[in-house]
Structure formats: C-alpha cells, structure tokens
Structure 1
Amino acid sequence: MKDNAETQDLAIEFVGVVKRFGDAVAVDGIDLAIRRGELVTFLGPSGCGKTTSLRLIAGLELPSDGHLRIAGRDVSRDPASERNVGMVFQSYALFPHVSVLDNVAYGPVIRGVKKAEAHAKARGILDQIGLGGLHDRLPAELSGGQQQRVAVARAIAQQPDVILFDEPLSNVDAKLRRKVRSEIRALQQEFGLTAVYVTHDQEEALAVSDRIVVMDKGRIAQVGTPEDLYERPASAFIANFIGDANLIEGRVMAGRFAAEGLDVPVSGADGPASVSIRPERIALDLSADGPARIASGTYLGSRMEYAVTLGGTELLVSRPISEPRLEAGQPVALRIDTGGVTRLS
C-alpha cells in the first residue's frame, strides 16, 4: 500500500485498466503510475493501445474494467468535462477566426474567469513562450511551429492536472520536428507540467521523455527511461522496435555467449539464449586475416551501415561517415563493446 507522500506525488494511476470495443481488447489490464511533473510517452506500433490509453485519461473513453485516478481522485466514470485535463491535438484545433490571445484565454473564460483577467494570464504565458508579439494575429498567420506553441499555451492556461499530447508533431514539417519537440520539452520542464505524450516515432520518444511506456497488443511491454529501453531492452520486441538491433540466437556457456563465428561475454545461466547487439557498438578494423567480411554497405548521409558476415552470423554495423569507406568483400576484425550486448533470454 502506498503511503500518503507517495500517493500525493502521483498525477495519474492506471489500476488494472481494461478497455474493450465489442470482442476486441484495446487495453488489456495495465497498471501504471505517473508522477507529478513527469513527461511520459506511450510508444508502440499501430493498434497497440497507446492512443486508447490517452483517450482513457482524457475521458473520451471510459474503462471497461479497473480504475483510473487523476490527482488522487478516481475518475473512472467521469466524462471529459469533469476532468481537469488539457489536450494538444494533432491538428492543434485552434479557433481560426479569433486571435492568438483569445485562443489561449478561451479555457479560463469558459470556466468563469473574467475576460480581462484571462487575457492578462494569456499574455503572460505567450510572453513566456516567446510569442509575445503575436497576440493579435490569427492562427493562419503563424507558422506550424508557432501554432503548436499556441496550442500548448492554451492547454497551460487551463492549469490542468495533466496535459495530453496526441501525436503533436504529425502535422509539423520534418525539418521543424527537432526544434518543436525541443520547445515542447522545454515548456514542460519550465512550467513543471505533468504530460502524457503519444507517438509512434521512436526518436521523438527518446528525445522528449522522462520515461517511455512501450505497448504491444494492448499490454505494457516495458517501462523505463529512454536509456533503460535502448541500452537494456527486456525483449526482442523492445530491442527491435526502439532503434536497430542485431538479434542473435546461440548458447551461453561459462559466462560466454556463442553463435556461429561470434563469442561475447554475458551474464546468466548456461543454456540456449538470445542476445541483442546494437549496430553502433560494433567497431570494424581492416585486417587481412580478419574473420569477418563486408557483404554490402549503405550510405545514409550521417553514417554508413554495413552488412558483415562472421561465420554463419550476419551483423548490421553502423560507422560514422568520417571513417574510411569499406568495400564489399574486404576482410575485417570486429571489436564489440560489451556495453551494447543485452541478453534477452
């Protein structure tokens, strides 16, 4: 049982939450606690349950079973209108015919705050996020990144218990995504917001999150910091979903994992096993008597990716573009950073 201090520190709690749509189970008995001031991202492939989880927090869907608490209050049966939740939609959902200032002040005004007071608060938030000179503009007169910040400002103005981001960068040009995601993260930290973020983009999740919840088939596959999930995946699904990974079957004997041509140290019991090795943790050295061969190379701008054969094992290896280019057929020796090797079973 949680003590009072721990309970007060929690912003959102899923307790055995299930959501069914007819015979289909979209969310299958998840348990999760999100702390105040934390940005937690739900990540996973299409149909994994991440968006349904967000909609359950928002009150746009209600649990079929289990309980959902926000700020210590059970909201399992409460509609969206009775929850203190802010939402930033994919489309921003800004009112096109009113000013930026009125968009941001909208929430407080409909909650009964006097218009002058709501405008003063909205101006303060807009100034704080770098949009102070754009109060009187219409949304169509702003860039995509500016519209995104207005949508966040509008959510902040409501003083919600939690802000929800539903694929917030899906409508932002690819070149702007890095900048906008950094701005979202900076605003979340500056205002101390509790935020839940949904995306299918692994790099985006790694960049903005305190913790990531990876979902698969309606269940939580793993929860952890970005570093936890990338460096210490709990399964082949996680290793393969977040970044690239070499997934290799072999056998452990006396603290060594062996596959055809491969031998690396690992921990755990002897017996059949599988490991994940990240491509960037493998270094290649030109060696006339090297046991491996370059099978092919792919130019990716900032790096080269090589397919390397080692006995009966094929490995994907990532090298900085600044290193000398290797050609198919060249013999190489491998140096594997054991920090990039994770035993999966």
Structure 2
Amino acid sequence: MTETAIEFVNVLKRYGSAVAVDKMSFSIAKGELVTFLGPSGCGKTTSLRLIAGLELPTEGQVKIAGRDVSRDPASERNVGMVFQSYALFPHMSVLDNVSYGPTIRGVPKAEARDRARAILDQVGLAGYEARLPSELSGGQQQRVAVARAIVQQPDVLLFDEPLSNVDAKLRRKVRAEIRELQQRFGLTAVYVTHDQEEALAVSDRIVVMKMGQIAQIGTPAELYEQPASSFVADFIGDANLIEGKVSSGTFHAAHLALPVRAADGIVTATIRPERIRLAKGGIATIRSASYLGSRMEYVVQDENLEFLVSRPISEPRLTAGDSVDLQIDPADLVLVR
C-alpha cells in the first residue's frame, strides 16, 4: 500500500472575504513530485505555504506523514523549502550555507559540516565548498539551495517557482537536475510553477488549479491527452477548442464529420495542433505559415473555424493560400466540458 506523505482534507483559506483556497482535498504519495499549476491568483502558492506552515488554514486539515499539522507553525514541521530567490546567505561560503540549518537545530558543527560535504558531493558540488554564492552560476546556486534543504532530511521538499531566476537557456538543464535529485533521494516534493512545459517535464502528477479549486489532477500525459475541461485543455499546451454538434454518434463542425461516443447535442471538443495532418487539395485554406525551426505552424481556415496546426519540418512545406484537407483521427478528438 502506498504511503501518504501529504493530505489536504477540505482545506479552505480565506483572507477577509477573499477565498484563496476553496475546500481542496487531495493526497500526495511518499516519493512523488507533484506540481501545482495554474494562472496567477489561482491559489497555488497559497497551497504551498499551507504545507510549509507559513499560512494556516481557515478550515480543514493539512496532514504531513499522517500527522495533523494544521495549527503547527513552520518551525514544528519537517519541511524544506527552495525559494524563488534561493535565499542563500551572500556572506557565507557554500559549505556554511548548507551546514547552517543542522547547526541551528543543535547538530554539532563538525557533524553538520560533514553532512553538508556529503550532500554537496551528491549534488555535484564537491570542490565548491569555499566559494561564495556570487561566484556560482545560477544553476549551481540552485543546487546549493536544494542541498541546503535536503541536508535537514525533510519529510517534504517544497519548490516555489524555482526557475524564475534562471536564464531561459539554463532552465531545461536545471529542471532536469532538480528532477534527478528528487528521484535519487526519493524525496516527496511539491513544486509550484506557472510554466506548463516545466510542469510537464518534472512532475509525476500535476494539480491544475482555477480560482482556488482543483480543475483536474493527473499525470502529464493524462492532462495533455484527456483534459477534463476546456480550461485544462487550453491551459496545458496549445489546443484547438471546437464547438460543434453531435448527431447520431457523429461530431459535426465546419466540414468535419468524426465518429464519437456522446449523446446528441452541442458540445466542445479539443484537438492538439500536432495531431492534425494536412493534405493538399482540400476545401480548407491556409491563412498563415510560420517557420519555427523544428516545426511549421499553420493557421487553417475551414468555414467559420480556425485551426492551429503544427507539423514536423521534415514534411513538404505549405504556404499561405494553399487549399488543404484537414485529416483528424477520431481518437485524437476529445470532448470536454
């Protein structure tokens, strides 16, 4: 049986009349990395702060390792946190930064420094112990921040927008390092970001939030391929949201006619841009064609509908004004609320 590391039970957080987190319930298994993802103001950072003990719930329970910590301050929770700014002490060496936490918790200085050296070795920073944070790259500073959190052997490791201060070209590398460290140490981690690609890359599961509530929880593949709502479909990557009509088991929109399993009526469907194929000589028209290095991106007009289509650069290129046929596998059309 999977051990539960974190649990929210009907958690409500209110600031005056404003509701930041609205009766949320979910659980995170030990060793999972779960990301809170959503637009600004959706409650994802508040949820992280409720786990950390930096905020206390108005109602409901927050549990860590099976213990109700709802009213416990941050100092009484075994939680490590990696902040947006890393929050490293600029006047302290790397070794002193990492050994600081155990030292103030009463661990003898020599033992704390031994622990810090061991962790620094494991995160690939052996030999950097004497450097100041200003002498490190952004990615190295991130690893110091992670090491400082790991050295305290937390029940949960929290990441608050950890790549917001990392140069765009470094993000892919640093997020891969964070994921590798989390898996190597078997850490339970909660990650907050507004970047959909980042969330898809690092997460075991993603909690998509909207206005303080859970819109959908699932693996990256589940959310991308089977979104439960138009909001999730539109927020996770690019999506064509198509309003059409189901009649006798067929979805109709513009010139599309695709078999579906749904009751008759007006519905909204979604199809990912890369799942649409194009063939010359149809009745739709390419309105624009954009070269994006690894792919071509087309905007295609079919009657009153516009479709965003993404095709590999290896395929024959089409140009604006070309007549095309939209080819869609019925399995790639997902009906949403």
With normalisation by structure 1, the TM-score equals 0.95
Does the residue aligned with 1:176 lie in a helix, a strand or coil? helix
Q: Quick check: 1:113 aligned with 2:107? A: yes
Q: Quick check: 1:315 aligned with 2:282? A: no
Deviations 1:172-207 (A, max 9, x none): 000000000000000000000000000000000000
Equivalent residue, structure 1, for 2:255: 261
**Offset, 1:337:** 2.9
Equivalent residue, structure 1, for 2:287: 295
Deviations 1:132-169 (A, max 9, x none): 01011111110000000000000000100000000000
Deviations 1:38-94 (A, max 9, x none): 000000000000000000001110000001001111010011111100000000001
CA distance in 1, matches of 2:36, 2:235: 13
Q: Which moved more, 1:264-273 or 1:101-110?
A: 264-273
Percent identity of paired positions between Structure 1 and Structure 2: 72
- Preserved CA contact (<8 Å) 1:40 1:197: yes
Q: Which moved more, 1:156-165 or 1:107-116?
A: 107-116
Listed as ranges, the matches of 1:27-66 within 5 Å are 27-66=21-60
Which of these residues, 296, 310, 319, is aligned with residue 304 of structure 1?
296
CA distance in 2, matches of 1:251, 1:338: 15
Does the residue aligned with 1:205 lie in a helix, a strand or coil? helix
Equivalent residue, structure 2, for 1:246: 240
Does the residue aligned with 1:132 lie in a helix, a strand or coil? coil
Unaligned stretches of 5+ residues in structure 2: none
Q: Quick check: 1:324 aligned with 2:316? A: yes
Does the residue aligned with 2:19 lie in a helix, a strand or coil? strand
Equivalent residue, structure 2, for 1:338: 330
CA distance in 2, matches of 1:140, 1:10: 39
CA distance in 1, matches of 2:182, 2:331: 32
Letter in 2 for 1:189: Q
Q: Which moved more, 1:236-245 or 1:313-322?
A: 313-322
Listed as ranges, the matches of 1:74-153 within 5 Å are 74-153=68-147
With normalisation by structure 2, the TM-score equals 0.98
Q: Which moved more, 1:210-219 or 1:118-127?
A: 118-127
Listed as ranges, the matches of 1:201-220 within 5 Å are 201-220=195-214
Does the residue aligned with 1:133 lie in a helix, a strand or coil? coil
Does the residue aligned with 2:142 lie in a helix, a strand or coil? helix
**Offset, 1:309:** 1.4
CA distance in 2, matches of 1:291, 1:264: 17
Unaligned stretches of 5+ residues in structure 1: none
- Preserved CA contact (<8 Å) 1:13 1:32: yes
Equivalent residue, structure 1, for 2:163: 169
